Amino acid sequence: MASRSSVARANNTNTQGKICQFKLVLLGESAVGKSSLVLRFVKGQFHEYQESTIGAAFLTQTVCLQDITVKFEIWDTAGQERYHSLAPMYYRGAQAAIVVYDITNQDTFTRAKTWVKELQRQASPNIVIALAGNKADLSNKRMVEHDVIAILQEAAAYSEENGLLFMETSAKTAMNVNDIFLAIAEKLPKNEAGVSGNRPTAGVGLAATENRESSGKSCCGS
């Protein structure tokens, strides 16, 4: 049922029939701009005074590559410490993750690194991780200039080392926002098995998680 409807929609927009659905999770220190980033990507909006997220918000967005339609199921987690216990439930079984930090704040980068470490240890082994240095628009102000550059260099090196996608983004100016999602979409393994519709439409709890994981594996198993 679900697959048919999405296929239909894909056809309506004149793209080829393949639809891949991926679970993506956003992680990072609070107030680095995770929600803003997603809001920009999903709705094209930006709020100067974005309220802090409670728990985890859920959004979806569809992206069209050359011949494949990629549908992102985005879980935007809250950065506040008290919601950290929820995070594993969302990155478990996720095929992609964006770890966000604030380029003007060294501490958020440190926290981002621990998130990456946690993902590498706990999340599914084939997860695509992107590191997003958000609030890039502030880099023009250069409040503590050499700090910003130092973080940038370190982040680039760190991403290189750990095989992460890395971009500096700005939700405010929409700089690199779509690009980072598209880069993820391109990097995600897509084959016949990964085509939409193989996702379980029924089944709950653990079984559903397992199925999802297995579909993720078969995605890149070839």
Partner 1 sequence: MATVKEGFLCPICVQDLGSFHKLQNHFETKHTAEDKAIFDQVKGLFSKAKVRWLKKDGVNENDIGSSSSSNHILHDAPVWDPQEIGQMHNHMEKFKKIRDDRIDRFVIESNKVLIRLDKLAHCDEFEATKRKEFEQTLVPWVRDNDVPYCPTCGDRFNVTRRRHHCRLCGSIMCTKCSLFISFQFADELVQTLRKPPAGRRRTQSDLNISQSSTSKPQDTSELYIRCCHDCYIVLMKRKERLDQKENQPLLVLLYEKLRSATDAANELSPLYEKMAESLNRGEESYHLDKANDYRFKLIKLYETIDVVSKKISVLDTEDQDHPPSATLLRMQNAIRSASHAYLQNNMLTLQSLPSLPKLEMLQKNRRQEEERRMRRQREELERERMEEERRREVERLRSEAENSRVSQAPPALQKSRSGVILKEGWGAESNPFQPQGNPFESESDPLLEQIAYVRQMIVQAKQANRTEEVQSLNRNLSELESEFQRQRSVRAFA
The residues of the shown chain that bind partner 1, judged by CB under 8 A, are: 1-2, 5-6, 13, 21, 35, 38-39, 41-45, 51, 53-66, 69, 71-75, 82-83, 85-86, 89, 178-179, 182, 185-186, 200-201, 204-206, 208-209
Measured CA to CA in angstroms, residue 205 lies from 12, 56, 161, 200 at distances of: 33, 18, 35, 12
Report, in Å, the least distance between residue 27 CB and partner 1: 15
Backbone angles phi and psi of 55, in degrees to 5? 65, -120
Report, in Å, the least distance between residue 47 CB and partner 1: 9
Q: Which is nearer to partner 1, 54 or 149 (CB)?
A: 54
Distance, CA of 98 to CA of 108 (rounded, Å): 14
Q: Which is nearer to partner 1, 89 or 144 (CB)?
A: 89
- Residue 94, phi-psi category: left (phi > 0), alpha (psi -120 to 50), beta (remainder): beta
Report, in Å, the least distance between residue 101 CB and partner 1: 22
| CA terminus-to-terminus distance, the chain | 27
Check: CB of residue 28 under 8 Å from CB of residue 79. Answer: yes
Report, in Å, the least distance between residue 75 CB and partner 1: 8
Distance, CA of 168 to CA of 176 (rounded, Å): 7
Check: CB of residue 75 under 8 Å from CB of residue 53. Answer: no
Report, in Å, the least distance between residue 44 CB and partner 1: 5
Q: Which is nearer to partner 1, 44 or 221 (CB)?
A: 44
Q: Which is nearer to partner 1, 63 or 100 (CB)?
A: 63
Q: Which is nearer to partner 1, 81 or 161 (CB)?
A: 81
